[in-house]
Structure 1
Amino acid sequence: MILGILSDSHGQHERTARAIRLLQQCGAEAFVHCGDIGGEQVLDQLAGLRVRFVWGNTDVVDASIVRYARSLGLTPPEGTPLRIESASRIIEVFHGHEPEFARLTRRLTRDASSATPASSPRYVLYGHTHYAADARFGAVRVINPGALHRARAYTVATLELTGDTLRFWQVDDAAPDTARPQPYQPR
Structure 2
Amino acid sequence: MIIGLISDSHDHVQNIENAVKIFKERDVELILHAGDFCSPFTIPPFKGFNLKGVFGNNDGDHYLILEKFSEIGATHLGSFGEVIVANRTIALYHGTNMPITEALEQCGKYDVVISGHTHEKRVEFVKNTLAVNPGTAHGFDEEATIALLDTEAIDVSFVTLD
Taking structure 1 as the reference length, what is the TM-score of the superposition? 0.79
Q: CA deviation at 1:168?
A: 0.6
Contact 1:11–1:39 (8 Å) recurs in 2:
yes
Q: How does 1:35-114 map to 2 (within 5 A)?
A: 35-78=35-78, 80-98=79-97, 102-106=99-103, 108=105
Cα separation, partners in 2 of 1:23 and 1:63, compared to 1, 3 Å: closer
User: Taking every aligned residue pair, what percent have the same amino acid on both sides?
Assistant: 24
Q: Please report how far the alpha carbon of residue 107 of structure 1 lies from its aligned counterpart in structure 2 after TM superposition.
A: 7.1
Unpaired runs of 5+ residues, structure 1, are 173-187
Give yes or no for contact 2:104–2:110 (8 Å, CA) kept in 1. Answer: no
Runs of 4+ in 1 over 3 A off after TM superposition: 106-109
Distance in 2, Cα, partners of 1:62 & 1:167: 31
Please tell me whether the aligned partners of residues 12 and 38 of structure 1 are also in contact (alpha carbons under 8 angstroms). no
Q: Does 1:157 align with 2:156?
A: no
More strand by share: 2
Structure label with greater radius of gyration: 1
Residue in structure 2 matched with residue 180 of structure 1 by the alignment: none
CA pair 107-94 structure 1, distance change in 2 beyond 3 A? closer
Unaligned runs of 5+ in 2: none
Residues 107, 67 of structure 1: CA spacing in aligned structure 2 closer, same or farther, 3 A cutoff?
closer
| TM-score scaled by length of structure 2 | 0.90
User: How large is the RMSD of aligned CA atoms in angstroms?
Assistant: 1.9
Q: Secondary structure at the match of 1:73?
A: coil
